[in-house]
Amino acid sequence: MGLRGINKTEANLDHARIVAAVGVSGHDVTYGRRTLEDEMYIIEAEALKALLGERHDVCVLDARRPEEMAAGVIPGAQPIDLYDAMLVGSDKTSVEAYAGAAAAACRAAGVANDARIVVYEASSGIRAARAVWTLIWLGHPQVFILNGGLEAWVAIGGSISAPGNAKAQGSFEAHRRDEVFITANEIAGRLQDGQMRLLDVRGSDEFLGTDEPDCDPRPGRIPCASWLYWRKLESQGRFCRDEVVGAVLTTQAITSDQEVVVYCHRGARSAYVWLALRKAGVRVRNYLGSWHEWSRREHLPACVGEPDALLNRRA
């Protein structure tokens, strides 16, 4: 049940809390308008603290590794790992298998469709971002990433406890939203599409093809991709403020009539950028298979070296 499914008074109250905590303006002249019907996926620590004090349907998920969780978690938090598994192919069989396994992992963490899900890690990181984006893709109606992560929670006086017992199996049922997802074949068919902007959000060495993870058979990038390093949208472990994101979009010459596609190596850094751009009102899809898949499909083209026109400066 999302904001559309609860009564109007409650929806307005929750929206006001989240907007106040996140600092989202009512509209953005350049990159599109927001209304109560729009979805926001970034929540501040103060808003989470208020929700935990007022509601019993909040499910907090910790996306860190077990050794990090051992030092303490937000009380009641359950572990979730939607980071390590890779999408090896974006054909129908591979996608359905991956989505099924991801939904099962969510149920094992106690996720239900009618719960409000908040995912965090040490700061605003890519493990939590990939988990949040995956839950959005799987159709969960109310999922958020904690801006600033555990550090932000501790900074406002939030309590920490030892990891508790596992929750009962959740009842989550996936209803995929493929409008936030894109396949390799669709990208390949649209490389010359002036309405699709392709952003590679990896490090510069990965973009240029001078450095690649050992697991990839070839280096490089997808042709026509522009480089936008994901940390340009991150500042001191938090998502950048709206005006910073707006400046990045201006530098990239991204306009409201374009559809943006983001990718990295495994769809995690790109999930972070997806969340930041969605907050700015951009139409954006995440290529979950990313370079890990693309590099394995030998018939798909790849580029290395400096592009002829690097749209984004590195300064």
The residue extents of the domains of the chain are 3-177, 182-294
* Cα 23 from chain centre: 19
Distance CA(78)–CA(70), nearest Å, equals: 12
Of the pLDDT bands very low, low, confident and very high (cuts 50, 70, 90), residue 28 is very low
- The predicted pLDDT at position 190 comes to 95
**Any idea what the Cα angle at residue 35 is, between residues 29 and 41, rounded to 5°?**
95
Whether the domain at 3-177 and the domain at 182-294 fall into the same CATH topology: yes
Q: Is pLDDT of 228 > 50?
A: yes
- Indicate the fold that domain 3-177 takes in CATH: Oxidized Rhodanese; domain 1 (3.40.250)
Distance CA(227)–CA(269), nearest Å, equals: 13
- The predicted pLDDT at position 211 comes to 86
The alpha carbon dihedral of 269, 271, 277, 279 has a sign of negative
For residue 144, what are the contacts with CB-CB under 8 A and spacing of at least 6? Answer: 40, 41, 42, 43, 48, 116, 117, 118, 119, 132
**What average pLDDT does the segment 281-304 reach?**
96
Contact 33, 15 (CB under 8 A): no
**What average pLDDT does the segment 80-109 reach?**
96
Q: Is pLDDT of 3 > 60?
A: no
For residue 78, what are the contacts with CB-CB under 8 A and spacing of at least 6? Answer: 59, 60, 61, 62, 109, 110, 166, 167
Distance CA(29)–CA(39), nearest Å, equals: 18
Output 309 or 223, whichever has higher pLDDT: 223
**What average pLDDT does the segment 85-110 reach?**
96
Nearest C-alpha neighbor of 108 from the set 148, 81, 142, 70:
81
- The full length of the chain comes to 315
- The predicted pLDDT at position 122 comes to 98
Tokens of 237: 């472990």
Output 209 or 309, whichever has higher pLDDT: 209
The domain 182-294 is placed in CATH, from the list 3.40.718.10, 3.40.250.10, 3.40.50.720, 3.20.20.70, at: 3.40.250.10
Residue in this structure with the two tokens 């409008």, named with its chain if needed: 179
Q: Is pLDDT of 50 > 90?
A: yes
Nearest C-alpha neighbor of 3 from the set 46, 38, 47, 48:
38
Q: Is pLDDT of 20 > 60?
A: no
Q: Is pLDDT of 246 > 60?
A: yes
**What average pLDDT does the segment 49-73 reach?**
96
Distance CA(315)–CA(306), nearest Å, equals: 16
* Cα 165 from chain centre: 27
3-state secondary structure of 244: helix
**What average pLDDT does the segment 202-212 reach?**
93
Q: Is pLDDT of 16 > 70?
A: no
Q: Is pLDDT of 311 > 90?
A: no
Q: Is pLDDT of 14 > 60?
A: no
**What average pLDDT does the segment 197-224 reach?**
93
**What average pLDDT does the segment 149-173 reach?**
95
- The predicted pLDDT at position 308 comes to 59
Output 214 or 101, whichever has higher pLDDT: 101
Q: Is pLDDT of 200 > 90?
A: yes
pTM attached to this predicted model = 0.86
At position 253, the amino acid (one-letter code) is: A
